Structures are given as C-alpha cells and as structure tokens.
Structure 1
Amino acid sequence: MAGRGDPPEGTPEGVPGGEDEYRSVVFDEAFVRAAHLQEFSARERLGEHTQAVRSRPSAWEGRSSSRQAVLLVLLILLAFGTAIYLGVRNPYLPPADLRAEPLRTTVVPLAPQGPVVGGEPARLFDHSPAAEYRTGAAGINLPLTGRTTHFAESQVVTALSIAKDYLVASSLEPGVLSGAT
C-alpha cells in the first residue's frame, strides 16, 4: 500500500514534479551538516543574553593580532620601498639636443618642357609587348565548347559567337587609339 501522499498506483516515472526535477538542488549530507545552525539550548539561551547561534571561527581568528599587525607594517614598508625605488630610477633616456635640419624639396615637372619624341601613330605598338596581340575579331579566341546540363553544344557555340560579335562591335579600333577618327 502506498503512503498517504502517493497515488494508489505509485509515483509515475518521467512526469513533471518527480525526483528528477529537483536533482540539481539536492545537496549531499556533508553540505547539509555544515549548513545547520548551531543553536544553543533553551537553558543556555535563558542564562545569558547573548546570540542564539554560535558563531563559527574565521580563518583569522586563530592567529594573534600582533602577527596581523606585523604583516600589515611589512606590506606598507614594501609598498613605500617600491614607490621610492621606482621614483629614483628613471627608465627613460634624456632627450638628445639635436639641431633640426633644413627642409629639402625637389620639384619634378609633370608635363614635358619640349616636344615629345614618338613614332608614327600606325606603328605605336610595333616594339611593345602588344605587338604580338591580334586585333579585331581575330584577337578574341572562343574557349573549348561542350554541352552542359541545360544546353546543347550548338546552343553554347551560338551564345559564345553572339558574345564575340558584341565585343568586336563595341571595342576600340586602332584608328580611335591613334586619333584618326
């Protein structure tokens, strides 16, 4: 038979309100023993007018106050000694007295003073790396073509040819570069 607070079939498992819900706040016995109030008995409380609970000894209570005073004085002396040492010892070098040098400037002309030596406009690219490049439609090479997932090979070639014709029609001609047109 179940207790007065339990249901007749016993406590169901896995429902809210079970033991698992309070597992994170349940303490072990050592914690509970240390947390108990250490109260005087009723007779002890009636005898003297003091606190009803015994106070726990602190970490400093067992030591003598003279040791604490000596430690405090040593700490103060150490702080003053460090401050004096750092004040006397200057970590920075004194600034050197250097004379300032006069400012020097150089003016470079951005436009040529006389006529610019050049060649004929039609032969400007003959002696440059651009001499190897072809012009017009011959200068645009189509990549290797193949069929794709959505387009046949003929459709890919047609699209590349249209793009090449557009580039040829919209590109700069040698006459434009040389100033002839």
Structure 2
Amino acid sequence: MASLPIFITAVANSADEPSFPLLFTWSTHDAEIKEVLVIPDDDWLHSATVEKNIQDINETQLYEFGYEAGDILAEWTSEFDTDAVYAIQPDELSLLVEATFDSKGLEPTFEVLNIFDWFEERGLDLHNEWASHGNPTPLELLPPDEQIASLLQIASENGLIEAPEREEDYD
C-alpha cells in the first residue's frame, strides 16, 4: 500500500498579515496527528508580532512549550518522504513553511498543494462532502487538530485512503 498523504495546517502570527508560524499540525503516513508550537525566530519578531489568534496562543507559551525551527525541520525531514503536502489554505501555509525553512537558510523540501484539488482528483468535492455531514463550521475554522482529523476521516470514509490498522494494546 502506498503511504498516506500528508495533510497540514498552521496557526500564523497574524490573521491579516501572516508572516511566521505559531503552530503546525500535520498528519503522518500512518494517520496519526502531530502538533507543535514554534518558537519564533528573532528575525521574525523584528518585523512582526504575535497577535491574538483563534487558538489563544501567546508568545510566552511559544517559548515555554515550543520547538525551534531546526527541530521541526529535522522531524519533517525524517517523516515526510514526499515532495508534496496538502493544505486547505496552501498559499498562506506555503508562506509559513518557507519562513520556517528560511530561518535556517534552507529552501523548502516539499511543495504545499491545495487539499481541495487532491480530493477533486479522486472524484470527491470536499466542500459538498463536508456539508453533507451537516457540519455548520467551515473546515478552515476548525481547530487545527480537528481539521486534520476531519480530512483523514473524509478521505477514509470515501475509500481514498486506507488507514493502517492499529495493534490493540492488551494489559
């Protein structure tokens, strides 16, 4: 079986003028969801601030619980064996991914593509599918982990991916 696609989302420092990430959330090739706060690079804070955001993430939390860009990039390098990841808002996410790589003087090793196109290429209209579930909240307004879980669930329910079976843990 081919590995599952990587679905990714982020929370930016600003809703109006995003320039750096506060949080990245992504699915893995075995359908797990990972989430990490990002410690701001000093250069980022010279040109922008951490504004109020939908997740209520503040600068103190980033420094206390976050990871530096280099650590995040190392994890992506070991986990992403793909040249494409998929996002609901690919332009904004590309900017945040580029900022993360750029903070270490690197070029992105993958492209951020539109998740709606991924579903459409497989014969499914994501907007219609989401609406048919009776969900009143648009996908892009869900908390990041719920957004990724919803995308995985829709893909799985429609036979677009086959999530790996999990071993039962018997104590």
**TM-score normalised by structure 2 residue count:** 0.13
Larger RCO: 1 or 2 (CA < 8 Å, sep 6+):
2
Name the structure where strand makes up a greater proportion of residues.
2
Q: Which has the larger radius of gyration?
A: 1
